[in-house]
Structures are given as structure tokens and as C-alpha cells.
Amino acid sequence: MPYKILVDSASDIPADRASAASIVTVPMLVNIESRTFSEGVNLTTKDFYAQFKSFKELPKTSQPNPTNLLENYERILSEGYDVVAIHLSSALSSTFATAQMLRNHTSAPARVHIIDSLGASFGYGLLALFAQEILSSDVSWEEAEAKILAIRQNMRYVFTLDTLEYLVKGGRVSKTAGFIGGLLSVKPILHMTRDGRIEPFAKVRSRRAAILKLVSVMLDEIVHPEQQVLGISHSDCLEDAQFLAHEIRQVLTVKDIWISEIGCVVGSHTGPGTLALFYQT
């Protein structure tokens, strides 16, 4: 394969799947009470969520170390591959803009292809895995890019959380949306827009209703489910993720459902109890 895919760790691709697909993952940074950690290197999700509610302030996140990102680009180039870098939505992070700048500092800018995922978590992790399948066939970059961007355009992100508190504090949704979500123990349903932003979508009264709402929204929008691999990601709520997968299989025949854990970067903004569903419309 003349291409190698690189993602940042906010893609939440399980390590075994990334390894099997030869996808390179570059850690993003998480600052917790004046200490900076590299996601997946010296900060695990197990420790992160176990301590989350005891943090004195909300963790802060930042893009991958630019030097590390550039070194990974160069290493891939030196191995004889073109780089296909798929990064966290430019509406949520400066990583994409930094990657575009760094491309011009590589030894072969024309062989470094930067894609704005317009997504977050395992939604664009799926995009990267699907891109790997496309790039493993004998196609030109122009053909491959068109197919990858078509998948990006059709990728749907819907999710629910226990509370909007953390997204509001992090500036990812408005305080008005946070206020509404806090009324009467409402469980918010949110989605990502086509330009990679997070917006409220619906609200229900209970966690179970929220999970069933995800299924309902998907049923209204999904096309050719029997051909699709769906993605589910969760932050410290595996049983809910498994219940969601079970409910989907009760009403749809799908090719497969892959479950991933939301990492520390995305989890810093959504908090524990987040459950997300990804599929093609």
C-alpha cells in the first residue's frame, strides 16, 4: 500500500484495530491540574474516568505536540509511504490548521494529504478505517480522496450524555442549551453538523429513553444498513453501549457494530456517561 494513515488520538480507534490497519496514532495532550499528559501514553482511560469527578477543575486539552506530529509525518515518508492525515474537526480543535502548516515543512509536501474529519471520537475513527480499505486497493489519490470525502459527508454523529455541564464549561455548546438540558433531569441528545460543530438535537426524560432515541434517529436516517459497519463509543458506560448495540440488532440487520471507548481528550469535554452512535446516511 503506497499510503499510510495517521490520526490523532481523539479518533478513539481501539489499539488493536489501529494496529491491524497499520494506522499511526499521535497522542493529543491533556492538562489536569497543571500536569500535562499524552493520551494513551502516560494517561489511561481507566485512571482518567476513575478520578474525573474529583478533579478540582475541568481538564484542558490541546493538539498533538507539533514536533511529534512533524516527526511522524517524516517517518512515514521515509518508509516510502504517502501520508494521509485525518484529524479532529477543525471546528473543535486547531490540530487541522497546524497539520496544514506542518505539511509545508516536510521533505515532500505533495505526498502529505491532510483531511479535516469534521468529526470527533470513533466517528472519524471509522472514517480512517474505511479510508484504509479504500487506499489498500489500486486507486489514484484523486479517486481515493473523492471516496473518503463522500464517506465523511455521509457520516452521522448522534450522542447523549448524562449532563451538558462539561460541554458548556468547555465552550462546546451554549449556556442556553446547557440550561435547557439541566431542567427536570432532561437527558440531551446532540449531534454534529455537516461543518463539524456540536449542536443540541433533542431531549428526553431518562437515560433509557435517550438510548432508544439514538436508535430511532438512526432508523429514520440510515441507508443500506446491511452493508454498514456501525460505530458506538462510550465514556465509562460499556453496559449502555452494549445495550445500544443489542437494541439496534433487534430492529436492523447490519454488517457489524464496533464498540470503542471515548478517550481522555473527548471525555474531558463530555464527561463520563457519554454514549455516541455513528453510521452512514
> For 241-270, how does the pLDDT look when each residue is reduced to its tens digit (9 = 90+)?
999 999 999 999 999 999 999 999 999 999
Interatomic CA distance for residues 6 and 25, integer angstroms: 6
User: Which of 112, 128, 153 is a domain's end point?
Assistant: 153
Interatomic CA distance for residues 262 and 234, integer angstroms: 5
**Claim to verify: residue 273 and residue 159 sit in the same structural domain:** yes
CATH of the domain at 85: 3.40.50.10170
**Claim to verify: residue 142 and residue 8 sit in the same structural domain:** yes
Q: What domain range includes position 98?
A: 3-153
Number of domains in the chain: 2
**Torsion angles phi and psi, residue 62, rounded to 5:** -150, 165
User: Which of 153, 176, 203 is a domain's end point?
Assistant: 153
- Whether the predicted pLDDT of 221 surpasses 80: yes
**Claim to verify: residue 85 and residue 223 sit in the same structural domain:** no
| pLDDT bucket at 216, cuts 50 / 70 / 90 | very high
**Claim to verify: residue 10 and residue 148 sit in the same structural domain:** yes
**Claim to verify: residue 84 and residue 159 sit in the same structural domain:** no
* Nearest C-alpha neighbor of 264 from the set 3, 7, 11, 5: 11
**Claim to verify: residue 141 and residue 209 sit in the same structural domain:** no
- Whether the predicted pLDDT of 142 surpasses 90: yes
Q: CA triplet 162, 165, 170: central angle to 5 degrees?
A: 125
- Whether the predicted pLDDT of 73 surpasses 90: yes
- Whether the predicted pLDDT of 112 surpasses 90: yes
Q: pTM for this one?
A: 0.92
pLDDT at 162: 85
**Contact assessment for residue 258 and residue 12, using Cβ atoms and an 8 Å cutoff:** no
Write b or e for each residue in 124-139: b if 16 or more Cβ atoms lie within 10 A of its Cβ, otherwise e: bbbbbbbbbebbeeee
CATH of the domain at 234: 3.30.1180.10
**Claim to verify: residue 25 and residue 142 sit in the same structural domain:** yes
pLDDT at 1: 59
**Residue with cell string 452494549:** 242
**Claim to verify: residue 115 and residue 77 sit in the same structural domain:** yes
What residue type is 83 in one-letter code?
V
pLDDT in tens, 164-205: 778 777 666 655 555 555 544 688 899 999 999 999 899 898
**Torsion angles phi and psi, residue 233, rounded to 5:** -125, 150
How large is the average pLDDT for residues 68-96? 97
**Claim to verify: residue 172 and residue 90 sit in the same structural domain:** no
Cα dihedral across residues 57, 63, 66, 67: positive or negative: positive
User: Which of 138, 153, 168 is a domain's end point?
Assistant: 153
pLDDT at 165: 76
- Whether the predicted pLDDT of 96 surpasses 90: yes
**Claim to verify: residue 141 and residue 161 sit in the same structural domain:** no
**Claim to verify: residue 137 and residue 17 sit in the same structural domain:** yes
Length of the chain: 281
Among left, alpha and beta (phi > 0; psi -120 to 50; other), residue 109 is alpha
**Claim to verify: residue 118 and residue 168 sit in the same structural domain:** no
